């Protein structure tokens, strides 16, 4: 049987054709997930109608076209291939940020639920590893996929954890740039760059410094924490809609992050839900790190599968706690070995462990030299 996260390759040189192939392959899934996320924008944010959600999403299309034309073409291709309007593909991609944007005539809502993600970077004798849980509304779980974007002209290759209809959530590029993301809930959210497009652009950069520069120059929409690493450098950047702060630095250190800001200025721009498990997960990750002193992919993998403090654990099960399938749970786990280009991914909970090991075809020749 094929592994559920066995990567699908999109190899057209033309980004529009690549998107169209993606859209056609997962037509039904894209329609379904776009509808789920548009509805959640109404339930979990201040939008009053689907028209209002689509109108706000549509305002992101010109920003994407101006900032990242290739990614814009790929997104429009996904819309064409799936038969779902482009604005709704923006809703599917940019859901967590759209939720934070308040229609102008409404008071800010009280961030009902923080979707999670626990990101961990650590280093050992075989070099650094970077990974994360991807925690989202549990109804997103059936839509998680791995994609390999590898144009036939050989100009680029990325392996991405993603969702049907989404450009990419986190992953590893051919030149060794790895990126993970944590959602942050900002109070200064605005129309900006569709964030999965930015992740893809960062993964395509030649090194972590260039990916950092790409992030620093991007007109963001709402908050995320990005971990960027390439085996030589590590950067952890917290953002809100308007601000970006480099909060973590240093390739030899260990870095942990969940879904609240460390930076004191950014703390004034976030709306952390009272129900959030972010602090519990950060405490668990800190304790596990100190107890286990993980130094490699196996150690990282154990950490991101931990049920200490269940259901508010790193492998998160908030949906079971609340009996609400739209509450957060760990939908996937991803770990990347930065010197080898090896990547391990698994769907869902660590108890049904189904890891899949992948490697970038073009990575070996680009392997960063060991310091
Ligand atoms: Zn679990």
Distance (angstroms) between ligand 1 centre and the Cα of 44 equals 24
CATH number at residue 28: 1.10.10
Q: Are residues 70 and 187 in the same domain?
A: no
Contact, 263 vs 245, CB < 8 A?
Answer: yes
Residue 109 located in a structural domain: no
pLDDT bin (cut points 50, 70, 90) of residue 268 is very high
Distance (angstroms) between ligand 1 centre and the Cα of 328 equals 12
Distance (angstroms) between ligand 1 centre and the Cα of 132 equals 13
Q: Are residues 78 and 152 in the same domain?
A: no
- The pair of structure tokens assigned to 191 is 């129309």
Which residue, of 69, 100, 131, is where some domain finishes? 100
The pLDDT, as a whole number, for residue 110 is: 45
Q: Are residues 52 and 89 in the same domain?
A: yes
Q: Are residues 315 and 212 in the same domain?
A: yes
Which residue, of 35, 68, 100, is where some domain finishes? 100
Residue 1 located in a structural domain: no
Q: Are residues 137 and 250 in the same domain?
A: yes
Contact, 114 vs 162, CB < 8 A?
Answer: no
Q: Are residues 165 and 25 in the same domain?
A: no
Q: What is the pLDDT of residues 81-140, one digit of tens each?
A: 999 999 999 999 999 999 999 766 555 444 455 567 999 999 999 999 999 999 999 999
Instruction: Report which DSSP code applies to 263.
Output: S
Q: Are residues 130 and 80 in the same domain?
A: no
**166 pairs with which residues across the strands?**
none
Q: Are residues 92 and 181 in the same domain?
A: no
Which residues 6+ apart lie within 8 Å of 51 measured at CB? none
| Residue bearing tokens 């392959």 | 25
Going by C-alpha positions, the residue among 52, 29, 164 that lies closest to residue 99 is: 52
Distance (angstroms) between ligand 1 centre and the Cα of 39 equals 26
Q: What is the pLDDT of residues 22-72, one digit of tens each?
A: 999 999 999 999 999 999 999 888 899 999 999 999 999 999 999 999 999
Distance (angstroms) between ligand 1 centre and the Cα of 146 equals 20
- The pair of structure tokens assigned to 60 is 């992101």
Judging by DSSP bridges, how do beta strands 8-10 and 144-149 pair with one another?
parallel
Distance (angstroms) between ligand 1 centre and the Cα of 364 equals 33
Q: Are residues 83 and 140 in the same domain?
A: no
Q: Are residues 70 and 151 in the same domain?
A: no
- The pair of structure tokens assigned to 20 is 């169209």
Q: How far apart are CA 177 and CA 39, in angstroms?
A: 35
Count of domains forming the chain: 2
Helices (H), the chain: 15-25, 27-44, 50-58, 61-67, 69-82, 86-100, 195-203, 208-217, 264-267, 278-292, 297-304, 318-322
Residue 307 structural domain? 119-366
Instruction: Report which DSSP code applies to 102.
Output: P
Give Cα 174 distance to the centre of its chain. 18
Enter the pTM of the model.
Answer: 0.95
Residue 141 located in a structural domain: yes
Going by C-alpha positions, the residue among 121, 122, 37 that lies closest to residue 87 is: 37
Residue 143 located in a structural domain: yes
Q: How far apart are CA 254 and CA 25, in angstroms?
A: 39
Q: What is the pLDDT of residues 289-338, one digit of tens each?
A: 999 999 999 999 999 999 999 999 999 999 888 888 888 999 999 999 99
The pLDDT, as a whole number, for residue 325 is: 85
Contact, 19 vs 81, CB < 8 A?
Answer: yes
Percent of the chain that is helix, strand, coil (3-state, to 5): 35, 25, 40
Q: C-alpha angle 188/191/193, rounded to 5°?
A: 110
Instruction: Report which DSSP code applies to 343.
Output: E
Distance (angstroms) between ligand 1 centre and the Cα of 307 equals 6
pLDDT above 70 covers what percent of the chain? 94
Q: How far apart are CA 72 and CA 66, in angstroms?
A: 8
């Amino acid at each position: 049987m094929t592994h559920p996260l066995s990567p699908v390759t999109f190899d057209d040189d033309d980004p529009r054709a690549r998107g169209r192939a993606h859209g056609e392959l997962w037509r039904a899934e894209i329609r379904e997930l776009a509808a789920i996320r548009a509805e959640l924008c109404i339930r979990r944010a201040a939008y009053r109608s689907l028209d209002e959600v689509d109108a706000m999403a549509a305002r992101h299309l010109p920003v994407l076209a101006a900032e990242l034309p290739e990614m814009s073409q790929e997104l429009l291709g996904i819309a064409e291939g799936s038969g779902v309007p482009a604005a709704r593909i923006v809703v599917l991609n940019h859901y967590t940020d759209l939720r934070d944007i308040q229609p102008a005539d409404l008071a800010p809502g009280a961030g009902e639920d923080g979707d999670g993600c626990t990101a961990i970077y650590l280093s050992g004798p075989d070099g650094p590893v970077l990974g994360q849980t991807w925690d989202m509304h549990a109804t997103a779980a059936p839509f998680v996929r791995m994609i390999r974007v590898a144009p036939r002209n050989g100009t680029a290759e990325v392996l991405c954890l993603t969702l049907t209809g989404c450009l990419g959530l986190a992953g590893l590029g051919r030149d060794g740039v790895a990126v993970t993301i944590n959602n942050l809930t900002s109070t200064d959210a605005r129309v900006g760059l569709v964030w999965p497009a930015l992740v893809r652009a960062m993964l395509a950069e030649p090194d972590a410094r260039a990916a950092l520069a790409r992030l620093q120059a991007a007109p963001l929409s709402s908050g995320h924490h990005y971990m960027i690493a390439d085996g030589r450098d590590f950067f952890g950047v917290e953002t809100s809609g308007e601000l970006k702060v480099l909060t973590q630095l240093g390739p030899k250190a260990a870095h942990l992050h969940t879904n609240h800001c460390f930076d004191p200025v950014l703390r004034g721009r976030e709306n952390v839900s009272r129900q959030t498990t972010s602090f519990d997960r950060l405490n668990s990750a800190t304790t596990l790190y100190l107890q286990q002193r993980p130094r490699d992919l196996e150690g990282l993998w154990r950490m991101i599968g931990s049920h200490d403090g269940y259901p508010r654990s790193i492998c998160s099960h908030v949906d079971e706690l609340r009996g609400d399938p739209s509450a957060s749970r760990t939908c996937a786990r991803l770990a990347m070995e930065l010197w080898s280009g090896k990547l391990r991914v698994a769907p869902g909970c660590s108890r049904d462990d189904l890891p899949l090991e992948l490697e970038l075809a073009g990575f070996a020749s680009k392997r960063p030299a060991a310091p």
